[in-house]
Amino acid sequence: MRAIDRTWGMDFGKHLRSLNQARIVVAITVAIFVIASATLPGFLTSDNLIAIIRSVSVLGILALGMAIVIIGRGIDLSMVAVMAMSVAWYLQLLNNGCGDHAALALALAGVLAIGLVNGFLVAYADVPAIFVTLATGSFTFGFVRSQLIAQDAVMVPGDHWIIGLGRARPADVPADIYIFLLLAFAAFLFLRFTKWGRYVYYAGDNPMAARNAGMPVRPMLVLRYVLSSLAAFVAGLLTASSLQSINTRVVNSTLLYDIVLVAVIGGIGLSGGKGGVRNILIGAALIGILLNVMTILDIPQLEQNLIKSTILLVAILIDGLLNPRDEQTAQQGDI
Amino acid sequence: MRLKTLAAAAALAVAGFGLAAPVHAESDPGPAAYAQAMNGKKVILVPMAMGFDLAQGWAAVLEREVKAFGGTFETRDPNWSTEAGAQAITEAISSDPKPDVLIVMAPDLNSYSRLLKKAQEAGIFVLLIDNPANFAPDAYMGSDWTRLGALEAEAAVAACGDGSSKKIGLVQGDEVNATSIYQYEGIMKVLDAADGFQVVAKPVSNWDPTNSRTVTATMLQQNPDICAIIDFWDGDATGAAAAIRDAGLQDKVKLITTGGGEQTADCDMIENGTYHAVVMTELVREAGDMVAMIKYLLQSGVKPGEHSAHIYTLEQATTKANLRPDSCWNLKALQAMNQ
């Protein structure tokens, strides 16, 4: 009798432990979705669902770039600055009468340069990623804002292809959504099926072991920061295409925390080596649905922040209770 | 007879000269007194950021005028950070030589109140611009935000008309800034009095265009028959405009907002139909008021903090119907004057 009890207990414990953060967040998301569909008129319509995905597609693209860096045990705090300033400079060049190809090439070169600097400083100079990217982010903002552009907001010149991109709605779905899903699929293929993609996990889980096993740990690290910078540039272009301008004030907003929030709430541990594209989609879905429901309910801003942070705290708390830190994490510590 | 007349004329001429000579010597005392009061005076402008049309316009006008009276003009750029702004003010108060006039755009009702009081106690005139605060400046210059909101609401009511759904959507700035709170109050006053009009949603953009787009998209989804949307600032109303465009409702939903009246930000957007109406600040006149206050305060013998006055800028809702070539001001032209 006692033996049976014990097995049942172990089974239940195992069951509980498999309820990791990602699954908890899925459960919360589904619950909100079902309740909203049943009670909020106009929630479960194709137009509203498209609007929900669209509201998080730029955030999702940024989070994909961030996820690749975080899984490799890093963090890129320069993403929002790169996103806003690269596109602002690009548009300013166009407004100054520079040719489209030349302007795009210059902006892209700037983006690659920041990704490379981030990567080199982290990989070869061994400076912690959090300091490197914080510094390059401020530098990017300060330099572009003071030297290269005239105002916080830069308009897209009329009849430019970026405006066409914003107006494009194949099958009545905005282009942002296609690009987000396409990039999510590409990131999935990269992380899942390419050699360097698999290496990201090994390097994130244990960089020393990965190096001893002969993986090119440092060049891979540089690549990840280049990828996150490119993701930021795409996110910036999409923002400009929809708003027909880019406002560099976004660098002062909470967008950077929201990117980390999407990754963390979806279950990508900041200690690296864990998670994937699926987690980003989960995190983005929760944030998107939550914001949509709160807007429909006309909940005041201050309470919205409270609700958002409470859900994050609950998810982290449950995860902490069910999945206590193992010895390895305890020794290495989080970033 | 002829001789007599000639003599009289000569006498008159002599008398005339005699009169004219002392007047000539007694020149206008104004310029000297003016120069003595104004020469070398230091004016510092601390807006919320230097990177937007209003601040750059104020700075262009102020720089020209202050230089012209022989003073020095400086700006500080807190780049939307309340802390950086507070630091700039603190540094200005303790700097040597101290500024004579501080022109400050406060980020909210309370953050700078104590600091600005300190500045007055240190003998610095404080002009508060554009955003009201809980503090008695030597003069407040800028919008009467309640009135501004009322103008927006009147424009919305007129744009909707009697046969419409009479449903209005608001995209507020935030819930702490005086400009947002008072603007809301002004809007509600008008809409409550208007027959049958109601606000169906009032989300917040946090002054961010992407947020504005997202909340407007949801608002239109829930209430496709909205006839007008009032967005609280042209800096983020581009987002609301994008949502209206995406929903294909450009002809049905009128977008009303407020802004600094810069050509590309406001008048061009009214012309191309993005905004139906914009309640605009006549910036050059507003900056002219600032200049007049500076000149008055520095000569008047008034002590900083002694008196306080509101110098509200006259505003009106501009639509395609009353848009004139000079409705807006042009930043490039204004800055070119200082070259």
The domain segmentation of chain B, as residue ranges, is 32-143+283-308, 145-280
- Closest residue by Cα to residue B53 from B258, B219, B289, B273: B258
- Topology adopted by domain B32-143+283-308: Rossmann fold (3.40.50)
Is residue A225 exposed (0-12), middle (13-18) or buried (19+ Cβ within 10 Å)?
buried
β-pair partners for B310 = B140
First to last CA, chain A: 46
What's the gap in Å between the CA of A47 and the closest CA on chain B? 7
Residue B45 or A212, more confident:
B45
β-pair partners for B169 = B201, B229
List the single range of A141-155, B1-15, B237-251 with lowest mean pLDDT: B1-15
Its ipTM equals 0.79
Give me the residues of A, 155-174, that contact B with CB < 8 A.
155, 166-167, 169, 174
Q: What is the pLDDT of residue B236?
A: 92
Q: What is the pLDDT of residue A328?
A: 56
Question: How far, in Å, CA of A138 to CA of A128, rounded?
Answer: 16
- Write out chain A residues lying below 8 Å of B84, CB-based: none
Which option is the CATH number for B145-280: 3.40.50.2300, 3.40.109.40, 3.40.50.300, 3.40.30.10? Answer: 3.40.50.2300
Flag whether pLDDT at B254 surpasses 80. yes
Q: Tell me how crowded residue B244 is: count the other CB atoms within 10 A of its CB.
A: 23
Walking along chain A (335 residues) 10 residues at a time, the average pLDDT comes out as 50 60 86 93 88 92 94 93 96 92 96 96 92 95 92 87 88 91 95 90 85 87 95 96 90 87 84 86 92 87 83 75 62 51
Structure tokens at A46: 């194709």
Among residues of chain B, what percentage have pLDDT more than 70?
93
Give me the residues of B, 270-329, that contact A with CB < 8 A.
none
Question: How far, in Å, CA of A214 to CA of A202, rounded?
Answer: 11
The per-residue DSSP string of B122-178 comes to: TT-EEEEESS--SS--SEEEE--HHHHHHHHHHHHHHHH-TTS--EEEEEB--SS-H
> Which 3-state string (H, E, C) describes B75-108?
ECCCCCCHHHHHHHHHHHHHCCCCCCEEEECCCC
List the single range of A201-215, B42-56, B150-164, B260-274 with lowest mean pLDDT: A201-215
Work out the angle at residue B248's Cα, subtended by the Cα atoms of residues A304 and B221, and round it to the nearest 5 degrees.
30
Q: What is the pLDDT of residue A143?
A: 95
- CB spacing of B79 vs A48 below 8 angstroms: no
Question: How far, in Å, CA of B317 to CA of B333, rounded?
Answer: 23
Is residue B41 exposed (0-12), middle (13-18) or buried (19+ Cβ within 10 Å)?
buried
Structure tokens at A106: 């210059």
CA separation, residue A142 to residues A139, A149, B92 (Å): 5, 10, 23
Structure tokens at A95: 């407004």
Ranked by mean pLDDT, the top range of A131-135, A295-299, B172-176, B261-265 is: A131-135
Give me the residues of B, 217-246, that contact A with CB < 8 A.
217-219, 221-222, 235-236, 238-239, 242, 245-246
Question: How far, in Å, CA of A60 to CA of B17, rounded?
Answer: 88
- B53: which residues sit within 8 A by CB, 6+ positions away? A151, B259, B260, B262, B265, B283, B331
Tell me what the mean pLDDT of segment B133-140 comes to: 94
A78 to chain B, any CB pair closer than 8 A? The answer is no
- Length of chain B as a residue count: 339
* Amino acid making up residue A182: L
Q: What is the pLDDT of residue A326?
A: 61
Q: Give the tens place of pLDDT for each residue, B182-237.
A: 999 999 999 999 989 999 999 999 888 999 999 999 999 899 999 999 999 998 99
- Write out chain A residues lying below 8 Å of B203, CB-based: 295, 298
What's the gap in Å between the CA of B201 and the closest CA on chain A? 6
Confidence category of residue B287, pLDDT binned at 50, 70, 90 = very high
Q: What is the pLDDT of residue B10?
A: 57
- CB spacing of A295 vs B214 below 8 angstroms: yes
Q: What is the pLDDT of residue A11?
A: 58
Question: How far, in Å, CA of B303 to CA of B123, rounded?
Answer: 7
A221 to chain B, any CB pair closer than 8 A? The answer is no
User: Are B81 and A252 a contacting pair, CB within 8 Å?
Assistant: yes
Question: How far, in Å, CA of A15 to CA of A18, rounded?
Answer: 5
User: What are the DSSP E strand ranges found in chain B?
Assistant: 42-46, 72-75, 101-104, 125-129, 139-142, 167-171, 198-201, 228-231, 254-259, 277-280, 310-312, 316-319
Q: What is the pLDDT of residue B2?
A: 59
Question: How far, in Å, CA of B329 to CA of B313, rounded?
Answer: 15
Question: How far, in Å, CA of B207 to CA of B180, rounded?
Answer: 10
Flag whether pLDDT at B23 surpasses 60. no
Question: How far, in Å, CA of B231 to CA of B266, rounded?
Answer: 13
- CB spacing of B221 vs A51 below 8 angstroms: yes
